[in-house]
Structure 1
Amino acid sequence: MLLDRKSLWPQLRRWEEQAAGRDGPFRLRFGTLFVADADAARDVLVDPAGDYLSQSGFFRLGRESLSQAVRSEASRELLRVLARHDLASSFDLDSALGEVSDGRGRLRHQRWGVELVRRYFAPVIAHRRHTEINALVDAYVTSSVVTDDIVGHVLRRSHRTVPAVRAGLAEQLGRLPLRESGAQDLVDVVLGLPGELSTADRAQLLQRLVLSTVGFTGVTLEWVVMLGIRHGYDTPAVGQEQVHQLVKEALRLYPTAWRLIRVAAADHDLAGCRVREGEHVLIGTHAIHRSAAVWDEPLDFRPSRWEQPTDDQRRSYLPFGKGEGMCPANGFAVKALEHLGHLILHGHRGHVRLRTRKPHVRTLLAPPAGWTRLTPAAAPDR
Structure 2
Amino acid sequence: MFLDRQSLWHHLRRWENLAADADGPLRLRFGTLFVADADAARDVLVDSADTYLPQSGFFRLGSTPLPQTLRAEASGELLKVLARHDLHASFDIDSAIREAGDRRGRLRHQRWGVRVVRRYFAPVIAHRRHSEINSLVDAYVASSIVPDDIVGHVVRRSHRSVPLIRAGFAEQLGRLPAQGADAQDLVDVVLRLRGELSPADRAQLLQRLVLSTVGFTGVALEWVVLLGVQHGYNGPTVRPEQVRSLVKETLRLYPTAWRLVRVAATDHEIGGVPVHEGEHVLIGTHALHRSAAVWDEPLDFRPTRWEKPTDDQKRSYLPFGKGKGMCPANGFAVRALEHLGHLVLRNYRGDVRLRRRKPHVRTLLAPPAGWTRLTREPQPGRQD
Query: TM-score surpassing 0.5?
Result: yes
TM tier, shorter chain?
over 0.9
Instruction: Give the number of equivalent residue pairs.
Output: 379
Find the aligned partners of 2:3 and 2:38 in 1 and give their Cα distance.
26
Map of 2:45 onto structure 1: 45
Structure 1 residue 19, shift from structure 2 partner: 1.4
The letter of the residue matching 2:100 is V
Map of 2:285 onto structure 1: 285
Structure 1 residue 156, shift from structure 2 partner: 5.2
Contact 2:133 2:172 in 1 (8 A): yes
Map of 1:119 onto structure 2: 119
Structure 1 residue 39, shift from structure 2 partner: 1.0
After superposing the two structures, state which structure 1 stretch, 37-46 or 11-20, moved more.
11-20
Map of 2:257 onto structure 1: 257
Contact 2:43 2:49 in 1 (8 A): no
Map of 2:356 onto structure 1: 356
SS class of match (1:327): coil
Find the aligned partners of 1:377 and 1:246 in 2 and give their Cα distance.
20
Tell me whether 1:159 sits opposite 2:159 in the alignment. Answer: yes
Find the aligned partners of 1:290 and 1:177 in 2 and give their Cα distance.
47
SS class of match (1:2): coil
Structure 1 residue 17, shift from structure 2 partner: 1.6
Find the aligned partners of 1:32 and 1:249 in 2 and give their Cα distance.
28
Map of 1:107 onto structure 2: 107
Per-residue CA deviations over 1:35-78 (Å, capped at 9, x if unaligned) read 11111011111144611111111210001011111111101000
The letter of the residue matching 1:120 is Y
SS class of match (1:78): helix
Per-residue CA deviations over 1:211-266 (Å, capped at 9, x if unaligned) read 11111100000000000000111110000000000000000000000001000011
Tell me whether 1:320 sits opposite 2:325 in the alignment. Answer: no
SS class of match (1:54): coil
Evaluate the alpha carbon distance shift between residue 102 and residue 156 of structure 1 in structure 2; reply closer, same or farther with a 3 A threshold.
Answer: farther
Per-residue CA deviations over 1:123-176 (Å, capped at 9, x if unaligned) read 000000010000000111111111100000113532111110000000000000
Evaluate the alpha carbon distance shift between residue 47 and residue 59 of structure 1 in structure 2; reply closer, same or farther with a 3 A threshold.
Answer: farther
Map of 2:34 onto structure 1: 34
Contact 1:6 1:151 in 2 (8 A): no
The letter of the residue matching 1:347 is N
Per-residue CA deviations over 1:312-341 (Å, capped at 9, x if unaligned) read 100000000001111121100000000000
Structure 1 residue 368, shift from structure 2 partner: 0.3
Tell me whether 1:96 sits opposite 2:92 in the alignment. Answer: no
Structure 2 segments unaligned to the other structure (5+ residues)? 380-384
Contact 1:3 1:362 in 2 (8 A): no
Map of 1:201 onto structure 2: 201
Please, what TM-score do these two structures have when normalized by structure 1?
Answer: 0.98
Stretches (4+) displaced over 6 A: none
The letter of the residue matching 2:113 is G
Q: What RMSD in Å do the two structures reach over aligned CA positions?
A: 1.0
Map of 1:10 onto structure 2: 10
The letter of the residue matching 1:129 is R
Please, what TM-score do these two structures have when normalized by structure 2?
Answer: 0.97
Map of 1:129 onto structure 2: 129
Tell me whether 1:211 sits opposite 2:211 in the alignment. Answer: yes
Map of 2:382 onto structure 1: none
Map of 1:140 onto structure 2: 140
Map of 1:267 onto structure 2: 267
Structure 1 segments unaligned to the other structure (5+ residues)? none
Tell me whether 1:366 sits opposite 2:366 in the alignment. Answer: yes
After superposing the two structures, state which structure 1 stretch, 177-186 or 46-55, moved more.
46-55
SS class of match (1:16): helix
Find the aligned partners of 1:139 and 1:179 in 2 and give their Cα distance.
24
SS class of match (1:50): helix
Percent same amino acid among aligned pairs? Answer: 77
Find the aligned partners of 1:17 and 1:158 in 2 and give their Cα distance.
35
Map of 1:221 onto structure 2: 221
The letter of the residue matching 2:369 is A
The letter of the residue matching 1:188 is D
